[in-house]
Chains A and B, each alone.
Chain A
């Protein structure tokens, strides 16, 4: 059982380049999330999805787009990368309601924009 898998694990981009981060989960979770982690600021929510075909903005959505074409996948896109997007990105998933709403996280993608 792989849980939540993120691809790639590391990436260096030049300013203005684009890229897509892939998140895949095999727990049949309805909810999926993208967070970024910066020193001294904790994790902040970028975008999230409550089901296949739906997405919504989180706390820091500017400069990012997302898509959830399949229930098990959640993609995070950077159309024109900026140095301010240098961060560690985490994907998470969970069930929506009930007793077990525990969130499970991937191992992270370390992105550097130069």
Chain B
């Protein structure tokens, strides 16, 4: 059974700092990995999707990397801002077998960026 772990569970940084969020998974037979952002009481917003054949994806100040062989992904946030404060979730989907692109989630890293 796939298990996804995110460390740390919570992180507080001053504004402007670059930071890295970590995600690890136990089964390397994945189809893709997706990073989400969740604001309190809200839904999930997709940030980046990395296909298993890719090493990284970038969107603005965000960069996600994937090392499938070691079962790890990182989300790098450059020049953090208070508006980045949220919970960040990573999720992996298994190699497609016609059974749906089902996601297994980590429990998230709660990020607070302070002024």
Partner-B contacts on A (CB < 8 A): 31, 33, 35, 40-45, 48-50, 56, 58, 90, 92, 94, 96-97, 99, 101-108, 110
Please name 19 pairs of A and B residues whose Cβ atoms are closer than 8 Å in the assembled complex, sorted by A. Answer: A31-B100, A33-B100, A40-B107, A42-B89, A42-B105, A42-B106, A42-B107, A42-B108, A43-B89, A43-B91, A48-B102, A50-B98, A58-B102, A90-B43, A96-B96, A96-B101, A101-B32, A105-B36, A108-B42
Once the chains are docked, how many angstroms separate the CA of A110 from the CA of B108? 19
Residue of chain A at shortest CB distance from B106: A42
Number of interface residues of B (CB under 8 A): 27
The majority secondary structure among interface residues of chain A is: strand
Once the chains are docked, how many angstroms separate the CA of A74 from the CA of B36? 22
Which chain A residues border B36 with CB–CB below 8 Å?
105
